[in-house]
Amino acid sequence: MDNLDYGIISNCKSAALISKTGSLDWCCMPNFDSSAMFAKILDERKGGSFEILIDDEYDIKQEYLWETNILSTVFNNGKDSFQLIDFMPRYPREDGSYYAPPDVIRFFRLISGEPKFSIKYDPKLDFAREKTYSEHKGEYIKSFTKEGKYDSAYFYSSFNLNDILESNEITLTGNAYCLVGYHEKLVEQSLDRSYLKFQRTKVYWMNWSDKTTRYTHYGNEIMRSALVLKALSYKKSGAVLAAATTSLPETIGEERNWDYRFCWIRDASMVIKVMAGLGHIKSAKDFLQFILDIIPNKDEKIQIMYGINGEKELTEHILTHLDGYKESKPVRTGNAAYIQKQNDIYGILMEVIYQQFLMFETSLENSEALWTVVRGIVMIVEENWKKPDKGIWELRTEDRHFVFSKLLCWVAVDRAIKIGEVLRMGINDTKWKALREEIYQDIYTNGWNEEKQAYTQYYGSSDLDASTLLMQSYGFIEADDPRFVSTVQATEKELCEDGLMYRYKNNDDFGKPTSSFTICTFWLIDSLYKIGEKKKARKMFDQLLSYSNHLGLFSEDIDFKTKRLLGNFPQAYSHLALIETAANFSKGIATEGMIFQD
Would you list the DSSP string of 173-204? -S-EEEEEESS--SS---HHHHHHHHHHHHHH
When pLDDT is averaged across residues 350-378 and rounded to a whole number, the result is: 83
For the chain, give the number of residues.
Answer: 598
Question: In sequence order, which ranges of 454-568 are alpha helices (DSSP H)?
Answer: 482-495, 518-530, 534-545
pLDDT digits (tens, 9 = 90+) for 209-258: 999 999 888 999 999 999 999 999 999 999 999 999 999 999 898 888 99
When pLDDT is averaged across residues 447-461 and rounded to a whole number, the result is: 96
Helix (H, G, I), strand (E, B) or coil at 107: strand
- To the nearest 10 degrees (0 to 180), the angle between helices 281-294 and 344-359 is 130
Average pLDDT of every residue of the chain: 92
Residue 188 CB: number of other CB atoms within 10 A?
A: 8
Q: Are 9 and 19 in contact (CB under 8 A)?
A: no
Task: Answer whether residue 23 shows pLDDT above 80.
Answer: yes
What is the Cα–Cα distance from 166 to 254, expressed in whole angstroms? 38
Confidence (pTM): 0.93
What is the Cα–Cα distance from 172 to 84, expressed in whole angstroms? 12
Task: Answer whether residue 507 shows pLDDT above 80.
Answer: no
Residue 593's pLDDT is 39
What is the Cα–Cα distance from 143 to 38, expressed in whole angstroms? 12
Rg (CA), the chain: 25
Please return the burial class of 318, using the count of CB atoms within 10 Å of its CB with bins 0-12, 13-18 and 19+: middle
Write the CB contacts of 182 (distance below 8 Å, at least 6 apart in sequence): 29, 30, 101, 102, 103, 153, 154
pLDDT band at 1 (very low <50, low <70, confident <90, very high): low
pLDDT band at 298 (very low <50, low <70, confident <90, very high): low
pLDDT digits (tens, 9 = 90+) for 555-578: 999 999 999 999 999 999 999 999
Supply the DSSP symbol for 45. T
Q: What are phi and psi of 39, to 5 degrees?
A: -145, 35
Residue 511's pLDDT is 62
Write the CB contacts of 537 (distance below 8 Å, at least 6 apart in sequence): 525, 526, 528, 529, 584
Residue 289's pLDDT is 84
Residue 426's pLDDT is 66
Please return the burial class of 34, using the count of CB atoms within 10 Å of its CB with bins 0-12, 13-18 and 19+: middle
Closest CA to 358 of 296, 285, 429: 285
Residue 587's pLDDT is 56
Q: Give yes or no for a cis peptide into 570 (omega within 30° of 0).
A: yes
Q: Are 521 and 546 in contact (CB under 8 A)?
A: no
Q: Are 2 and 564 in contact (CB under 8 A)?
A: yes
Residue 297's pLDDT is 66
> Which residue has better confidence, 432 or 294?
432
Q: What percent of the chain has pLDDT over 90?
A: 75
